[in-house]
Structure 1
């Protein structure tokens, strides 16, 4: 899962079209897969990860098996679709869920569009 997240971060840096979504956001989301927890931090237009995050920080949580989390992070399947199928559990507000879904999906969508041209 960590490799998929690192690839996502690289793609985020290359694609400025998603930055207006996170310009003033401050969100901490724990991505849990099996025994691994990685915290995705969105703060003031930047996105980065924290491995072994502190329990004291208030964070939202998305958990699921490795295949489902990879689909989410790579943007191949939308967050709400995975949740409806029961493949992931989402413990966030709807607003945060939609923000994350947009970030993951738009990052992937831009890559797919570039391959078509």
Structure 2
């Protein structure tokens, strides 16, 4: 079954700073365009050039940052990195979590990002 949702291109162009465009068959963080980081002409061209292709338009969310240790030449420095946490739910139950960090706004290992450990703490059981 294929679901086709139609959108108003003008609204997508006007609201570019609130949106992200992702080509649906791409991997490794490629062909992702953040509206507020894309100039107006490029954004308009992307919308009209891709009008007959499959892609996803989603709401942009500000990217949180975290300080992480960076070791260079034996020195430890704490630097800010963008991070994301993805949770997996299977059959309505929690099944796992992964977190990634990056200097870039597209947080993907294929774009130079890193996976980072996720630790569960139980306090006062």
TM bucket normalised to smaller: under 0.3
TM-score normalised by L of structure 1:
0.26
TM-score normalised by L of structure 2:
0.25
Structure number with higher helix proportion: 1
Q: Comparing both chains, which one has the higher relative contact order based on Cα–Cα distances under 8 Å and sequence gaps of 6 or more? A: 1
Instruction: Report which of the two structures shows the higher radius of gyration computed on alpha carbons.
Output: 2
Structure number with higher strand proportion: 2
